[in-house]
Amino acid sequence: MRRILLLYIIFSVIGLTTVHAQFDNGRQRVDENGYDQYGNQVDPAMIPDRLDSANVEVQGLPPKLYMWRINNQLGNRTIIPADTAYHHFQNSNLTEGLTGHYNYLANMGSPRMSRIFFERRDPEPTIFMEPFSSFFIRPTEFNFTNSNVPYTNLTYHKAGNKINGEERFKSYFSVNVNKKLAFGFNIDYLYGRGYYNNQNTAYFNAAIFGSYIGDR
């Protein structure tokens, strides 16, 4: 038993010595000029003595984001500011509009019509779609996004209680494959319970979009 234990200790010491020698010989040596033992220049951040997680500074890409719309005549792009927290945000969910210039029937999601005639849009495909202008988005009013990082915008509005409350959830996501190709989707869900019978409203809109910017 003692012989076996002695042999085990001897073999363990020999093995550890061999491993240490191999590790020391294969270790990268870098001089003060930044060159290893083979004469190759080494990145200062990859020097083993300097690989300290406390001193590593991770730098990401600065986000670059812009939005654009297409022109109805020739399909040209019109760059628009990508404002993620725009002015009068608290009024963006009101059926009466940002400045209260819409006439509407009841709660959120009900049909509406602008009181200012000159601010009304061009005629819709049918006369029955004009009162639902807040949900019917034309191709020239859709915001396309180009960014070097994935872009997500989530919005949630809630008012009232479980009896007559109103809720609306909107999401927008866009990501670029490269500088030319981008795709994404948006979701708009609205539910208004209303104050009277048969007055509740519920809408669900969703869209998938893509864009390619190139010479052809």
Adjacency order of strands within the sheet including 65-70: 77-80, 65-70, 144-147
- Distance, in Å, from the CA atom of 196 to the CA atom of 118, rounded to the nearest integer, reads 33
Digitized pLDDT (tens) for each residue of the chain, 216 residues in all: 555 556 556 656 555 554 444 444 445 566 666 676 666 666 665 665 554 555 556 566 677 888 989 887 787 888 888 776 667 788 888 888 888 888 888 788 888 888 888 877 777 677 788 788 778 788 888 889 998 889 999 989 888 888 888 899 999 999 999 988 999 999 999 998 888 888 888 889 899 999 998 887
Where is 145: in which H helix or E strand?
strand 144-147
For residues 110 and 104, the answer to whether their CB atoms sit within 8 Å is yes
For residues 130 and 163, the answer to whether their CB atoms sit within 8 Å is no
For residues 82 and 61, the answer to whether their CB atoms sit within 8 Å is no
Structure tokens at 129: 């779609």
- Distance, in Å, from the CA atom of 172 to the CA atom of 153, rounded to the nearest integer, reads 5
pTM metric for this prediction: 0.64
Find, among 44, 23, 48, the residue nearest to 35 by Cα: 44
